[in-house]
Amino acid sequence: MALMSFIQIRVHGCVKRVGQYKLKRPATVGIAIKKAGGFKSVPYPPHGNISVRTRRIRDGVYYCRRRFNFKKNPKLLALSLRNDDMVVVQYHVFEIGGRLFPIRTGLFIHSRKEK
């Protein structure tokens, strides 16, 4: 009987439950997003951009290994993940009247100055 191997994955951004998850191999981006509860729609829906970040061995800093837009090419949700990867789903922030509105993280994004 073979032992099941698991990998640790972090999921951040526009998903319902942000956090760290243990997934069976082979794990994909789509499986990681489903494990995190799927995409969030309130207050902002997903933009479509997903980046897969991997931790460097020498210093432990994450770098962007792959970036894609799942709305343009949904087949890329089948991209396989490695142990200790981080999946980041980008929010879609609407611009109304030349002003960007704050995201609930507490960070404020300002557009150009109004005249």
Q: What is the DSSP letter of 26?
A: S
Q: For residues 99 and 20, which has the higher predicted lDDT (pLDDT)?
A: 20
Encoding tokens for residue 105? 């993280």
Burial 64-73 (b: 16+ CB within 10 A, else e): eeeebebeee
Please give the domain boundaries of the chain with CATH numbers for all domains: 6-100 (3.10.560.10)
Question: Which pLDDT belongs to residue 41?
Answer: 86
Encoding tokens for residue 6? 């698991």
Could you give the percent of the chain with pLDDT greater than 70? Answer: 77
Question: Which pLDDT belongs to residue 95?
Answer: 66
In terms of DSSP H, where are the helices of 15-98?
29-35
Question: Which pLDDT belongs to residue 104?
Answer: 57
- pLDDT tens readout for residues 3-50: 678 999 999 999 999 999 999 998 999 999 999 999 998 878 899 999
Angle at 106 between CA 65 and CA 103, to 5 degrees: 65
Encoding tokens for residue 5? 């191997």
In this structure, the dihedral spanned by the alpha carbons of residues 48, 45, 13 and 52, taken in order and rounded to 10 degrees, is: -10
Q: What's the mean pLDDT when you consider all of the chain?
A: 84
Question: Which pLDDT belongs to residue 98?
Answer: 63
Q: Are 63 and 53 in contact (CB under 8 A)?
A: yes
Could you give the percent of the chain with pLDDT greater than 90? Answer: 62
Question: Which pLDDT belongs to residue 30?
Answer: 95
Whole-Å CA distances, 73 to 3, 7, 50, 82: 34, 25, 11, 21
pTM of the complete model: 0.77
Question: Which pLDDT belongs to residue 93?
Answer: 76
Q: How far apart are CA 7 and CA 69, in angstroms?
A: 24
